[in-house]
Structure 1
């Protein structure tokens, strides 16, 4: 059961990383960048993006620990949690709206994950 916790926290860390990437993309230096190289450089030196990258690395380590304990076909459905976590965090932290259809989609994702967890073997 601890393996599932690793996967859950991995999905959370990856999701927070995504929200931090978005937050970092909204700063004036990035918005004013000219071209993809200048944008990438501005992003890579942005502290918010750096924290997001650290969280992504942490997420990867937890993912690998989870994979060492569970079959890939049991672990991989947990990546779907990132859709749920990112939508919720983008609403709470970035003020982005979640349309009703996406809310229904979140419910379907959670239902599908529950089915995957309930299947033994």
Structure 2
């Protein structure tokens, strides 16, 4: 796998995580609920939720391009770095707890991604 493909996968992953952060923030700010169809529609059209949906659409287009260049068995595990970005982002942006078990799990993910990135093409 070329370095540019690795960077594209990382960019795609960051776009996805950014979309998730926007959804989380939008849900925290929203007074809308899932109790009615109108409430759901208003929620989907709120700026943070809508922007997150747009980011997901952009990430999907980028992902299709990535899949045309990189084997799925290599690209998808690298995309699991989203867990790493989400864990630390949730800690810094939303004040969520960061436990030793979460950090250990993330280290295992990083180790797996490193193994696939280095030896994935073989």
Do both proteins adopt the same fold according to a TM-score greater than 0.5, normalized to the shorter chain? yes
Normalised by the length of structure 1, the TM-score is: 0.89
1:76 corresponds to 2:55: no
The separation in 2 between residues aligned to 1:109 and 1:2, in whole angstroms, is 21
1:16 corresponds to 2:18: yes
CA RMSD of aligned residues (A): 1.6
| Alpha carbons 1:67, 1:75 under 8 Å: kept | yes
Any stretches of 5+ residues in structure 1 without a counterpart?
none
| Alpha carbons 1:6, 1:65 under 8 Å: kept | no
Over 3 Å counting, the alpha-carbon distance change for 1:81 and 1:36 in structure 2 is: farther
Any stretches of 5+ residues in structure 2 without a counterpart?
none
| Alpha carbons 2:74, 2:116 under 8 Å: kept | yes
Say which SS state the counterpart of residue 9 (structure 2) adopts: helix
How many residues are paired up? 119
Question: How far off is 1:36 after superposition?
Answer: 5.7
Over 3 Å counting, the alpha-carbon distance change for 1:96 and 1:36 in structure 2 is: farther
Normalised by the length of structure 2, the TM-score is: 0.88
The equivalent residue for 2:31 is 29
**Runs of 4+ deviating beyond 4 Å:** none
